[in-house]
Amino acid sequence: MIPLMALLFAVNSNAQTGIKLQKREFRGAWIQTVNGQFMRMSTAAMQQTLRSQLNELQKDGINAIIFQVRPECDALYESKLEPWSRYLTGVQGKAPSPYWDPLKWMIDECHKRGMELHAWLNPYRAKTAGTTELASNHIAIRHPESVFPYNGQFILNPGQPQNREHIYKVVDDILTRYDVDGIHIDDYFYPYPAAGQVIRDDKEFASHSNGIKNKDDWRRDNVNIFIKQLNEAIKKRKPWVKFGVSPFGIYRNKKTAPNIGSETSGLQNYDDLYADVLLWVNNGWVDYCVPQLYWSIGHKAADYKTLAIWWNKYAGQRPLYIGESVVQTTKDADIDNPTINQMAAKFKLRAQLPNVKGAVLWYAKAVADNVGNYGNTLKDYYWKYPALQPAMPFIDDKAPKKPKHVKPIWTEDGYILFWEAPTAKHWADSVQKYVVYRFAPGEKINTDDPSKIVTITYNPWFKLPYDKGRVKYTYVITALDRMSNESKKVKKKIKL
């Protein structure tokens, strides 16, 4: 048996060479709350925990946080539509004390670090199996007919149009009051099948069948309508907010669907969860897709490599990011070299798939805690340099104007390079962030080289590393709009 420590830490000394560093790449991490990791923490303790995680994730190259704000028709933010989450205070409906708004706080903290913040909602789950008491203003109390029980949970019935409308209102409320960069939903549509459990929707099928004869097709249609209309609602309120979905990792098995299925033998999105993910991707109803491929390379029922190749082939109409388990990746031995784990092999595989534009890591705490040396390997090798978000030309493909009045100034805080945002008449022209590049004397100015990126920042300034003023460097500043379209460059030579 291979010693565990050797398996976990060997990846650093054997990192794959030859993988081209990406200038644009989605580097996400999920921060979940439904596991109770923050429950009953004081305001100060939770903020300190999150701040510590974000600091470490920033060092590790993460550029997007997917933060769970609605686990069971509740809220980790101030809401008049749904109660405060018990996963925050321990009691559903109880506001945090001292008072704070975790979503607003997270947006501010992520933006300080140049990260995007995507608000993660579980659309249909109204009660987890572990919740024993619901607040008086919870939808299952106010409208018990809107949910059905399933395996200890309550599920908002997707067959009721008013439930879709409720979710749209919740999302619109978030968009109206918070500067989120994305709205993210996960794999919980109709519930995961459980032995002896029945989905109670005969009444809805009889009254809202829309002429569809087959109940399975009707359930899929309910979810299809929801996804399409949610995307439209998001774009109507804020066209720049990205709508992403993270489905279960298997669409269909080849045994079930010979023409399109994957060589797998697990639960299926299409047949078991009534989620036709490819329809959403190919119709442009989502802006990005993150299939959860938490298995190993070589897994008998659901091989990571098989599935990554399958999603690359069939889901390339929208940016595709791979959902990856940090713990599983660092626990499993590499197929070809059992003295190391599978991190290097998975990064190499993803780099070879042209439609894969990044990864989302499950979960953030495992990265921040450097489980299996995963965080250090990101920081020292794979995500050593900052990366811009992948382009989304289907939303906007026009670059903003370049920054103005770039000038280094001595201040009481040191030597600071300042600039100003260009003027903008429309949201698509408005500058959101900036990229700062640095080139040594004699180096060719090449902004396609990600190793020259010093930082990606929301601030119109950068503190210069002054040292005796003997070497003249060239700094290049570009502007990014909300869709990360990049402006023309502005150069400034500075002695440091």
- CB distance 223 to 275 below 8 Å: yes
Angle at 353 between CA 350 and CA 357, to 5 degrees: 70
Q: How far is CA 242 from CA 36, 230, 257, 354, 479, in A?
A: 27, 12, 31, 21, 19
- In this model, does residue 340 exceed pLDDT 90? yes
- In this model, does residue 55 exceed pLDDT 50? yes
Q: Once rounded to an integer, what is the mean pLDDT over residues 478-494?
A: 98
Place of tokens 């659309």: 123
- In this model, does residue 408 exceed pLDDT 50? yes
Average the pLDDT over each of 10-24, 123-137, 314-328 and give the range with the smallest value. Answer: 10-24
Question: Which H or E run contains 177?
Answer: helix 161-177
Residues 6 or more apart whose Cβ sits within 8 Å of residue 3:
none
430-477 pLDDT tens trace = 999 999 999 999 999 999 999 999 999 999 999 999 999 999 999 999
Place of tokens 């704070």: 100
H helix count then E strand count, the chain: 14, 18
Q: How far is CA 104 from CA 326, 352, 459, in A?
A: 27, 38, 18
Average the pLDDT over each of 14-18, 139-143, 204-208 and give the range with the smallest value. Answer: 14-18
- Six token digits for residue 402: 């370049």
57-80 pLDDT tens trace = 999 999 999 999 999 999 999 999
pLDDT of amino acid 15: 43
Q: Where do runs of H (alpha helix) occur along 337-437?
A: 343-351, 364-368, 374-377
Q: Once rounded to an integer, what is the mean pLDDT over residues 301-320?
A: 98
> In this prediction, what percent of the chain has a pLDDT beyond 90?
96
- In this model, does residue 6 exceed pLDDT 60? no
- CA 79 – CA 102 distance, rounded (Å): 12
Is residue 18 very low, low, confident or very high in pLDDT (cuts 50, 70, 90)? low
Global pTM value? 0.95
The overall average pLDDT reported for the chain is: 95
Domains and CATH numbers, the chain: 26-381 (3.20.20.80), 404-495 (2.60.40.10)
- CB distance 430 to 400 below 8 Å: yes
pLDDT of amino acid 19: 79
Long-range contacts at 128-132 (CB < 8 A, ≥ 24 apart): 128/34, 128/71, 128/72, 128/152, 128/153, 129/153, 131/72, 131/86, 131/92
- CA 204 – CA 219 distance, rounded (Å): 10
Tell me whether the omega of the peptide bond preceding residue 98 falls within 30 degrees of 0, making it cis.
yes
- In this model, does residue 20 exceed pLDDT 90? no
Task: List the strands of the sheet with 414-420, edge to edge.
Answer: 404-411, 414-420, 461-463
Q: How far is CA 461 from CA 109, 407, 415, 420, 458, in A?
A: 17, 9, 10, 9, 9
- CB distance 389 to 116 below 8 Å: yes
Is residue 148 very low, low, confident or very high in pLDDT (cuts 50, 70, 90)? very high
- Six token digits for residue 468: 């005796």
Residues 6 or more apart whose Cβ sits within 8 Å of residue 187:
246, 247, 248, 269, 273, 275, 292
Residues 6 or more apart whose Cβ sits within 8 Å of residue 146:
126, 139, 140, 156, 157, 160, 162, 163, 166
